Amino acid sequence: MSDQTIPVIVNGAAGKMGKEVVKAVSQAEDMKLIGGVDLNPDRNGQDVGEVAGCGPLEVPILNQLESMLAYATQERQLGVMVDFTHPDSVYDNVRSAIAYGIRPVVGTTGLSPQQLQELAEFADKASTGCLVIPNFSIGMVLLQQAAIQASKYFDHVEIIELHHDQKADAPSGTAIKTAQLLGELGKSYNPPKVNEKEHLAGARGASADEGIRIHSVRLPGLIAHQEILFGSPGELYTLRHDTSDRLCYMPGVLLAIRKVLQLKTLVYGLEKIL
């Protein structure tokens, strides 16, 4: 194996996304999977490839992120931590990785704007690249770009995001990012037409940037889906993205692992590195 291969840790290695990342990284010629991290004590010491279902890779899962980060610093090349864990732990995980000089590629959603700001300052001070990507699929970037075009002509827009029922956070990181992208265009949306009253709290969804509403659906049978509905008198323009397999995120994850090594600050969004 070349000396130039990128050492990669997968945090959340036994999760739905973590397993896909283990498979993708272990097949990438310019990367070297050096470890997985997962909190479940039953997984400690297990082979990360066996857990991911791709056969033994002779790479262990540990329960302790700090031990794995310390191990990664022994590598000759700069290391990367890919994080697909939980909204409650992602902030601390990223801080720890940066403290060890390991570059974070963060797929986990649920970071608050304040947490994101703090992590950006922390990465800046350490001159360490960090990528926070709420959605790694190319199709979603294209959907967002189409929405930016449409928003020049439509003043009314609402977002519906639909996910599997194991999802911990709502609204999705993708829907929040989509609303931010539309909100950055210097206009506000959905001027009120009537004096509206919600008879059931939440009926009109969450209020995001510049008056944009986000509605979250959680059901078994779904993976990850988003609709952006633009309305104007006499017409409705709908943009929709559907995930049918988590494989769709892997090209974006591998790209982010390569790109994060060239950065010295935190960058938020896949569109910024394409």
Ligand X SMILES: O=C(O)C1=N[C@H](C(=O)O)C[C@H](O)C1
Active site residues: 163, 167
12 is in an annotated binding site: yes
Do residues 99 and 75 lie in contact, with contact meaning Cβ atoms separated by under 8 Å? no
178 is in an annotated binding site: no
In the list 26, 85, 109, 178, the residue contacting ligand X (rule: CB under 6 A) is: 109
Residues 171-200 that bind ligand X (CB under 6 A): 172-174
Q: Which of 79, 253, 46 minimizes the C-alpha distance to 13?
A: 46
Angle at 231 between CA 230 and CA 235, to 5 degrees: 115
What does the binding site for ligand NDP look like in residue numbers (CB under 6 A)? Answer: 11-12, 14-18, 37-40, 65, 84-87, 89, 107-110, 133-136, 249
109 is in an annotated binding site: yes
* Nearer to ligand NDP (CB atom), residue 17 or residue 176: 17
* Nearer to ligand NDP (CB atom), residue 189 or residue 249: 249
107 is in an annotated binding site: yes
* Nearer to ligand X (CB atom), residue 72 or residue 248: 248
Shortest distance, position 195 Cβ to ligand NDP, whole Å:
36
* Nearer to ligand NDP (CB atom), residue 133 or residue 159: 133
187 is in an annotated binding site: no
Among ligand X, ligand NDP, none, the one that 96 touches (CB under a kind-dependent 5 to 8 A) is none
> Could you give the C-alpha distances from 125 to 94, 103, 121, 214, 263, in angstroms and in order?
14, 14, 6, 34, 13
- In which element (H, E) is residue 268 found? strand 266-268
Told to check if 108 binds ligand X by CB under 6 A, we report: no
Told to check if 163 binds ligand X by CB under 6 A, we report: yes
DSSP letter (8 states) at residue 89: T
Task: Go through 121-157 and write b for each residue having 16 or more CB atoms within 10 A of its CB, e for each that does not.
Answer: ebbeeeebbbbbbbbbbeebbebbeebeebbeebebb
193 is in an annotated binding site: no
Shortest distance, position 231 Cβ to ligand NDP, whole Å:
28
* 41: number of Cβ within 10 Å: 8
* Nearer to ligand X (CB atom), residue 96 or residue 135: 135
Phi and psi based region of residue 101 (left: phi greater than 0; alpha: psi -120 to 50; beta: remaining): left
Cα(264)–Cα(251) distance, rounded to whole angstroms? Answer: 22
**Assigned token pair, 89:** 């732990």
In the list 26, 85, 96, 135, the residue contacting ligand X (rule: CB under 6 A) is: 135
Residues 56-85 that bind ligand X (CB under 6 A): none
Say if residue 171 is preceded by a cis peptide, omega within 30 of 0.
Answer: yes
Please state the residue numbers annotated as binding site for (S)-2,3,4,5-tetrahydrodipicolinate. Answer: 164, 173-174
Chain positions contacting ligand X, by CB under 6 A: 109, 134-135, 163, 167, 172-174, 224
